Structure 1
Amino acid sequence: MRSRNITNDLQVYAVAGTHTAVLSMDFRARPEGLLGLAFERKDLASGRLSWLEGQKCFRSIVPDPVPGQKYPTHLHPVQGLMWKDFTLQPGQRYRYKVTPVFGTPAALRYGPPTEVTVQAEAEWNGSQGVYFNRGVSGSQSYAERFPPGKISAMKPADRERALLWLSRGLLEGLAAFIGRAQPGEFLYGAFYEFSEPRSLALLKAAHSRGVKLQLVLDGKQYGDSNRAAVSAAGMLRLVKTWRMKAKIPHNKFLVRCSAAGKPVELWTGSTNLSDKGLFGQCNTGHALKNAALAERYLTYWQALRADPTRSELMPVVMGLQADLAAASLPANAVSSFFSPRAGTGMLDVYADLVQGAQQLACGIFPFNVDERFQRAFNAPKDFPRYVIVDKKAEAFEANDRDLDVAAGAAIKSPVDQWLKEQSAASLFYGGTDYVHNKLLLVDPLGPQPIIVVGSANFSEPSTNANDENMLVFKGPAYRREADIYLTEFIRLFDHFNFRDWLNSAARGAFEPFLEEGPSLTGWTWLNKYFGHPQYLSFKRKLVFKNMVV
């Protein structure tokens, strides 16, 4: 949901997803003497009112801050024009009051506040559902809540609490999708990793209540672990094909059909049914109640069931959807592209979408970033671009000042006020450690938002060799989905970008103190937002100021 209040001198622009709200502020004119902003949140369901807290304080008030201490923003205001709240509950309404703070730290003076109301999006709205797990086991919240070490070594009660916290709706979204299948209906699934016992139990329970379940599973790379898990779950006869002839059978989807065999609904995304896929690395699940799309996926699944070679499968794939140029992608529609394809043309199209952005471009790349996307994100454009990669070694050089690249990271050892954190590698075995989402966002707040999401890693093998599926959403009909993906992207980028910096040998010391006035040179934190349009902070402010509401 998007909301704004531009009636006062202080203007507030808000975007809310399912769990995250992003607030961007501006003023009609530069507010001289502004010390910062105070944020108050009211939960409109419970009536609970709270001042939001920050990590910095005024040295003249708190000369020796306690490591880890947080400070209410009405006493130690935020010196920035963007604020994020990562604690929303899906479907709930919240009112934020943003107050400009002037004066001196010892004698604060509050200007007229501006209020804005948002409603967090429901994860499932009856036609689409977007689900992100927490994806940040390497976090202070996890370190404070749970014991160190592998999840499998925890006491059962601790393990279940940790998995519930880490899932944050992803397993629950899958459970809801499976639960919508009624006795006599069909579920057709194709999965790469298929070993997580809770998700397998959900599917077996569906079969037990009369849902006709049929599976195509990887029999090569994860063949041994998949077979062992399926055997332990008593589901061997539900596997119709062990996929052996694909280079990598990388799909992760389910199709629900009515009792008459008519496709109804689809589950897809980046989530392997493994411990690390559901609870460790960040992943996405996307459910769509769209008969036409589900029918395409069913046709693809039927082709996979025969365990075809690439040369046998490719004509089916291209018959389902030929390549489309970026300009030819239909508006207010969802396009599906399957692999293996006859070449890498769609990879060029995805890069062209990034190249054609006008206001904002974001991407998540779990593995190496193909040169097409390096060029597209590095192209000299006068607006922000952001990229997340799984590891520092997979990051590429940002040659444009408006491009920011963050690598997955956790705090390796206690530093300043922060505890040591555990990446997903410390909790689970196998796979990427931080991000596994495959995501592109192009002008998500503009008039024609574009979302590219699915199982493929934006690489040549994922396009012309592996079994894969991708969805392209284009147009204002998908504004809700764009808001969810964007706010979750911002959450992840902020999380990893800070830890990437904190782990850097070249970083300076963390500065816990707020500015109490201009420096000797006259510089203040406000300069990044007013009068200096070359700064990324200034350009980011404009993205929200110009968003379509």
Structure 2
Amino acid sequence: MQSARAYANNEVAFIAWNLTELIEGCLGFEITRIYVGSEEPPRVLASWVPFRGQANPHWKPQTTSVWPVQKLCWRDLTLRRRRDSTGLRPSDVEVKYRIRPLGRARDGREAIPPGRDAPNYDGEPIALAALDEGVETNVVRVTSSYGTDLRVAFTNGILSAQWLKHALEEGGEGLTPKVVRTHIANVGDPLRKYLAGDVLDFMTGALATGDDVTNKLALYELGDTELADAIKAKRRQISVILSNSSKGRDGEDWDQGNARFRNDLHEHRIEVQDRMFNNGHIGHNKFVISVKDDRPFAVLTGSTNWTPTGLCGQSNNVIEIRHPDIATAYADYWERLRQDTAGFKRPVPLSASTANKQGAELREHNARTACDVKLADGKTRVRVWFSPNTRATTKKAALPPDLADVYSRMRKANEAIFFAVFMPSRSGKLSIIEEAIDVGTKDSSVLVYGAVSDPTAMPNYVAPQKVDDGDEDDGEEDPSTKRRKIAPPALYDTGNVHVIRAAALGHDDVVGSFEAELLKLGNAIIHDKIVVIDPLSEGCTVIVGSHNLGYKASYENDENLLVIEGNPRLAQAYAVHILDLYDHYRFRAAQAEMHRHGRSHWEGTLEIDDGWLRSYVKQDVKRESPTTSLVSYFAPLANR
């Protein structure tokens, strides 16, 4: 091994290492987390997938000394959140990683002692030994802070995970949507805290300020008891613009998700503006402004809706920026929203449909950049956009101004574009999905990796074609014809462009010791709205906010969008979050794709010879461009 690099945010680390040649007899890599400047002992990372001929029926962890990593990159998922308890490991610490190749303990090589609980799996153990001393990565800081005035946090809301099923079963419960919904709605529940990560603390912390600080909120959804109580606790220093939530699946009434909490705020005499569209337009913001002495000084925004599902049942993020100019831009926008709402027709009842849409004055203001400033470090530049920002009130083919800014930056990418989105548009048309693919197609040296939530957002999605061949598949059944629809694609791989959709293991495609998983609790799985451009470069860019990153959001929705340049640590933190999603769902999407085409599945076990590495060396080491694979980009063999 010649190169090993680590990158981290406040939840997860991504580690990549590269080879100059095949390591004969290598059965995988042992990864050890080493705390720098701390009394915390080194910890060999956990692993759950056994060798061929073994089984892990109770999904008990071993270490990578027992079940090594048969890849050239890995995610440290237990960097903060343990799998054996709800306790937290410390943040604001520095760590590095040692990666050692392991092979069979023979030819005089001393076997690595198994852990104290090993073996607690089925099958004969394989004694392993280090093939060399390995290499260490750079030191990374596990933190939410990316400057004195900039903080970021991410949820742990990936539900299609093996640990969740086993954790619930240990408590005598089954893995069902109802059971999970009960846990995540229960204030103080350990599972709720685990899945919400630091995001919940960010959101309550934005409101838990002194009596001399007031808050202004613009929210799309409010359905969480703890967050609603935090609003009510500050009722004399808070004002809320609350839009309508969507229709319920079982009726024609709008705002079913918000209605009870909206009424509760009114009953507690909170200052609430009911911004009711009750149509295809939505007030999609999720931000909090903090004001002291009539001067806005901070804003909290991102993709996280104020609901249990937003906190715990989806991948989401929040970003807090403490800068008076940025906070003032948001406060001015909030006031324009309030004034725009005065022109709305109030529905009677509030759940009734309307023709309300944003007015021309609001749109005209939003068509210009709201703010463009440097933060305290003198390097990080933040540009703010608000929506809607077009004259037309419904989506057209003309590129809106905020996305014109985003696209211009994507087209200047030198090395890589990463993205994670919910559902910007059907087949990714007129959205950053289409633009990222276009950039990667025109320039094969630009690596493009993306993760989408909704199957219909996949670039190779087409409307389902019914088949009647008698074969079973994982599509939907049409009860009127008793025929099945072809399942939507789960992967899009074309050269240097790779896009996956969120997926879970079903009963038909479980392998090895894996079991069926829960995919989602509502519509969204990946709910982030993120683009990261050239994260290893000083000229990197992060695009984030509530904006769904498609034309509809710019034309029809209340949205906010941040374009942040020149902060590599921040860009790498967001890139790690995207890679966490991509890597988690890639395996599941591949299983779904193989099932879709009737192909054989991966066995769900580690190989017992070095054949796995030979394919990696052929694929990753002999490329000419350092941006044609994740490994060669994040752990380049030559100095950058």
Per the TM superposition, whether the score is higher than 0.5 is yes
Structure 1 partner of 2:261: 229
Structure 2 partner of 1:267: 300
Residues 41, 50 of structure 1: 8 Å contact kept: yes
3-state DSSP of counterpart to 1:422: coil
Partner Cα distance (2:601, 2:337) in 1: 54
Cα distance, 1:154 vs structure 2: 5.5
Structure 2 partner of 1:385: 448
Structure 2 partner of 1:139: 161
CA gap 1:155/1:135 in 2 versus in 1, 3 angstroms: closer
Structure 2 partner of 1:497: 586
Structure 2 partner of 1:472: 563
Cα distance, 1:485 vs structure 2: 0.8
CA gap 1:446/1:439 in 2 versus in 1, 3 angstroms: same
Amino acid at match of 1:238: I
Partner Cα distance (2:245, 2:224) in 1: 18
Amino acid at match of 1:134: N
Partner Cα distance (1:54, 1:446) in 2: 32
Bigger mean CA offset, 377-386 vs 132-141: 377-386
Residues 310, 465 of structure 1: 8 Å contact kept: no
Structure 1 partner of 2:436: 376
1:239 aligned residue (271, 287, 304): 271
Cα distance, 1:545 vs structure 2: 2.5
Structure 1 partner of 2:601: 509
1:288 aligned residue (321, 345, 355): 321
CA gap 1:409/1:46 in 2 versus in 1, 3 angstroms: farther
Residues 496, 629 of structure 2: 8 Å contact kept: no
Structure 2 partner of 1:204: 232
Structure 2 partner of 1:214: 239
Cα distance, 1:395 vs structure 2: 1.0
Q: CA RMSD in A?
A: 3.2
Structure 1 partner of 2:290: 256
Partner Cα distance (1:535, 1:401) in 2: 14
Residues 187, 225 of structure 2: 8 Å contact kept: no
Partner Cα distance (2:267, 2:147) in 1: 32
Structure 2 partner of 1:410: 504
2:198 pairs with 1:164 = no
Partner Cα distance (1:249, 1:109) in 2: 57
Partner Cα distance (1:233, 1:73) in 2: 51
Partner Cα distance (1:155, 1:360) in 2: 36
Residues 452, 526 of structure 2: 8 Å contact kept: yes
3-state DSSP of counterpart to 2:269: helix
2:333 pairs with 1:300 = yes
CA gap 1:544/1:42 in 2 versus in 1, 3 angstroms: closer
Residues 13, 76 of structure 2: 8 Å contact kept: yes
Structure 1 partner of 2:386: 338
Q: TM-score, normalised by structure 2?
A: 0.74
Cα distance, 1:43 vs structure 2: 4.2
Structure 2 partner of 1:3: none
2:9 aligned residue (17, 40, 44): 17
CA gap 1:243/1:25 in 2 versus in 1, 3 angstroms: same
Partner Cα distance (1:407, 1:238) in 2: 40
Structure 2 partner of 1:110: 131
Q: Which runs of 5+ in 2 are unaligned?
A: 81-90, 107-125, 247-253, 344-357, 373-377, 392-399, 461-491
Partner Cα distance (2:25, 2:620) in 1: 12
Amino acid at match of 2:408: D
Partner Cα distance (1:106, 1:423) in 2: 36
Pairing of 1:49-128 with structure 2 (within 5 A): 49-56=42-49, 59=52, 63-67=53-57, 68=59, 71-89=62-80, 90-101=91-102, 108-116=129-137, 117-122=139-144, 126-128=148-150
Residue deviations 1:491-529 (CA, integer Å, cap 9, x gap): 11111111222233135322313252459xx95432223
Q: Which runs of 5+ in 1 are unaligned?
A: 1-8, 324-329
Amino acid at match of 2:215: L
Identity value in percent = 21
CA gap 1:442/1:30 in 2 versus in 1, 3 angstroms: same
Amino acid at match of 1:111: D
Residue deviations 1:335-369 (CA, integer Å, cap 9, x gap): 00001112613223323322321111111221122
Residues 32, 97 of structure 2: 8 Å contact kept: yes
CA gap 1:529/1:237 in 2 versus in 1, 3 angstroms: same
Structure 2 partner of 1:327: none
Residues 152, 159 of structure 1: 8 Å contact kept: no
Q: TM-score, normalised by structure 1?
A: 0.85
Partner Cα distance (1:295, 1:402) in 2: 41
Structure 2 partner of 1:6: none
3-state DSSP of counterpart to 2:499: strand
Partner Cα distance (1:437, 1:275) in 2: 16
Cα distance, 1:107 vs structure 2: 7.1
